[in-house]
Amino acid sequence: MASWNQKTFKDLTNSKPLFLTIYTVVIVGVIFSSIYVFSAIYGTKSPSYTSWSLSSSLTPSYAPDGDSAYADRGLKPSRPGTEARRPDVVLKTPSTWTRPIWELPPPGAKMPPLKAFRLTKQLVKQRVKDNVIIVTFGNYAFMDFILNWVKHLTDLGVYNLLVGAMDTKLLEALYWKGIPVFDMGSHMTTTDPGWGSPAFHKMGREKVTLIDTMLPFGYELLMCDTDMVWLKNPLPYIARFPGADLLTSTDQVVPTVVDDSLEVWQHVTGAYNIGIFHWRPTDSAKKLAKEWREMLLADEKIWDQNGFNEIVHKQLGPSVDDESGLVYAFDGNLKLGFLPTSIFCSGHTFFVQAMYQQLRLEPYAVHTTFQYAGTEGKRHRLREAMVFIDEPEYYNSPGELFVYLSIHFLDL
């Protein structure tokens, strides 16, 4: 019997020398997995996180030039101890719009009356810097997009921003989170309107009305959709084109330049996309905004972006000069430029083509166009790129533990 066992073991060892090693590795893996599961369940309590604490885990180091959140394909966490040097910190008694962004209202504070959030030049003046204000807007369904939008800008050291609330639920929620917000008086639903719906088109008309209202205040306006993310401070780039009345993004999917110049306007065939565009308060720009608004109010079936493209194309050309890349458009006086799609990216040039990588450029922004699955698809795309900030509970749900253990036996 002993000799048979020895013979069997010898044959096993000689015929399949890898079997014992594989079997041992599998057993050790199961043991360590079991230890991990039990320690996770019965171990010490997980540490608590403050709001937005996950931003530090997404970027292991700060961006080398101090103004880019995409140098490491992640977010730049706020440096500790820099609050006093923040440009949005004011020394006078703070109000709703002069407090540092993310600073919560004082304990015991009450919600101000709705009329206190009415959009006025004085309100905007509280947040303007270098005569520029950056604005987005939305309803409560897009609150996480709005918080993400704000957080990226403040991480980049940009604080001259405002958020337009299309419903009171969003207005109150942003106020209690320390976000400078104003009331658009839109009386919108708090749910996702869905692309192409009547509520969606109403949002577009409200956007144009907002532009038409703000330009007479005399400030430069960088208007953004909430489903876009800033990856690098855009203001120095925009300042390179002081002669432009309007700079707009496009749906161009083929680059017309290989550097960070404006697109060659003669070769731009994609639609002019109004998800990211910068307005200067010139007579031509104000005239364009007014005519655009009147067009949309006269026919509710016109999509705001189609209306914009139609008006701008009333006249297109000639070039303003040989160097800037600007073109005369609209009334023949408006000086228009097209932001390069390689660095002011659409969903296609960023997620699909990664055009900025091909051209060795650093992107300023990504707008989640060219996406499937509606709003959820946009969230998913941004999460994949590690540029969407979720509350800690999204990653660490209390009382939930999911363990996936997969063991594959080789066919020996």
Render each residue's pLDDT in the chain as its tens digit; 412 residues.
444 444 444 554 454 554 555 555 555 555 555 554 444 444 433 333 233 433 333 332 223 334 444 443 333 333 333 333 455 544 344 566 788 999 999 999 999 999 999 999 999 999 999 999 999 999 999 999 999 999 999 999 999 999 999 999 999 999 999 999 999 999 888 888 877 777 777 888 999 999 999 999 999 999 999 999 999 999 999 999 999 999 999 999 999 999 999 999 999 999 999 999 999 999 999 999 999 999 999 998 898 999 999 999 999 999 999 999 999 999 999 999 999 999 999 999 999 999 999 999 999 999 999 988 889 999 999 999 999 998 777 777 676 666 666 655 555 4
Query: Torsions phi, psi of 64, nearest 5?
Result: -65, -30
**Structurally, how many domains does the chain consist of?**
2
- 376 and 412 in a single domain? The answer is no
DSSP string, 73-113: TSPPPPPTT-GGG-TT--SSPP-TTTSPTTPPPPTT--PPP
- 18 and 166 in a single domain? The answer is no
Q: Tell me the pairing of strands 161-165 and 132-138.
A: parallel
- 139 and 26 in a single domain? The answer is no
Alpha helix locations (H) across 119-222? 121-125, 143-155, 168-176, 198-214
- 351 and 281 in a single domain? The answer is yes
* pTM > 0.95: no
- CATH number, residue 137: 3.90.550.10
How many C-beta atoms lie closer than 10 Å to residue 97's C-beta?
18
Task: Sort 388 into a burial class: Cβ within 10 Å, 0-12 / 13-18 / 19+.
Answer: buried
- 27 and 70 in a single domain? The answer is no
- 130 and 29 in a single domain? The answer is no
SS3 label, residue 52: coil
- 219 and 304 in a single domain? The answer is yes
Structural domain boundaries enclosing 73: 55-395
- 23 and 158 in a single domain? The answer is no
d(CA 350, CA 136): 21
Residues whose CB is less than 8 angstroms from the CB of residue 351 and which lie 6 or more positions away in sequence, other chains included: 366, 370, 371, 381, 384, 385
Let me know how long the chain is: 412
Cross-strand pairs, 224: 276
d(CA 305, CA 309): 6
- 167 and 35 in a single domain? The answer is no
- Quick check: bond before 363 cis, omega within 30? no
- 282 and 199 in a single domain? The answer is yes
- 298 and 378 in a single domain? The answer is yes
- 318 and 208 in a single domain? The answer is yes
